[in-house]
Amino acid sequence: MLKIANIVGARPNFMKIAPIHRRMQASEEFAPLLIHTGQHYDKKMSQTFFVDLGMPEPDMYLGVGSGSHAVQTASVMIAMEKILLEEKPDWIIVVGDVNSTLAASLAASKLHIPIAHIEAGLRSFDRAMPEEINRILTDSISDLLFVTEQSGLDNLKKEGVADEKVHFVGNVMIDSLVEHLQKAKESQILQELEIMPKRYILMTLHRPSNVDDKNNLENILTTLEVIQKELPIIFPIHPRTKKRIDEFGLADQVERMKNLRLVEPLGYLPFLRLMSESKLLLTDSGGIQEETTYLRVPCFTLRENTERPITAEIGTNRLVGMDRGAILKGFEEAMNGFFKDSKIPPLWDGHASERILETLIKQ
């Protein structure tokens, strides 16, 4: 049996590891360990997702908590090295682009433990984003690179990664979505919020470039003032964003918007229900660009770039940045049913995790 250490640290990791870990547990070929670094430690940011996704309690919880990028990365490396020396896994699997992903990879690489990176090859080409640095460095030391879309294949080839390391398997985020969509429809979140399907907008906002810059955050809120007059905006607010609104003295502006409804962070199932029934999404999240593409819900990404270009090329995603005119124009098109045609990308079919396990068995 292959002993695999599956590493998670933040919410997007949970959705990507869940189908892989579950299939490994059901297989006689694997002995999986689930290691949670504790990068996201708030109950709503972590534990609730484990319950919604049907994931077991982690075998190890590192509890690294918050801190600067350097502190967080170093804390994970120190704790991870000890576990890897004790457990001696045949492989570690890391997903996405958070600090835990890079830190676990560095620790494993120094101990000569093979690394499989899921969601490899994605590039925004914006090195001001910490996630971009994490992606590039993790890919450079990984032994297997599992790719979600064509751009990942193209980027890795340009970077000189050997073809035999790279495998186009599809998107494990979509595996979780497919597995849980029916259960999510049972959520009572629409009734609790007293909203009707397709009669509200869903929003997420958390990236430092948007919320740590007062001018950018104020510009977004000013744009929301116009949109919320047409439809209510449901805004599960990230702790970082809430903190910045208070620090920048923007709370009064938020309170004046009667149709901007701030709610606590939501679990996976209620959020999936909201997303699937929304008129459109406003977001700066990477994963939501993918999920809305599969659900064929219009998505406006409040960024100048995306590491998931397929979502904008054939999916429902549109990059609007901080351009108020672009946001309002897209909103008008979506409201009038004139939004662009879309397709679901190749291999986003709910079976990516199966292809990943097949590849690992052959190594």
DSSP string, 253-291: HHHH-TTEEEE----HHHHHHHHHH-SEEEE--HHHHHH
- 351 counts as catalytic: no
Q: Residue 114's Cα: distance from chain center in Å?
A: 24
DSSP designation for 303: S
Sign of the C-alpha dihedral computed for residues 265, 290, 70 and 34 taken in this order: positive
Cα–Cα distance for residue pair 360/144, rounded to 1 Å: 9
Cα–Cα distance for residue pair 139/118, rounded to 1 Å: 10
Q: Do 127 and 133 meet the contact criterion of CB atoms below 8 Å apart?
A: yes
Cα–Cα distance for residue pair 37/46, rounded to 1 Å: 11
| Residue tagged active-site, from 21, 167, 180, 206 | 206
Residue 262's DSSP bridge partners are 235
DSSP designation for 339: P
Cα–Cα distance for residue pair 80/302, rounded to 1 Å: 35
Q: How many CB atoms within 10 Å of residue 158?
A: 10
**Residues forming the active site:** 206
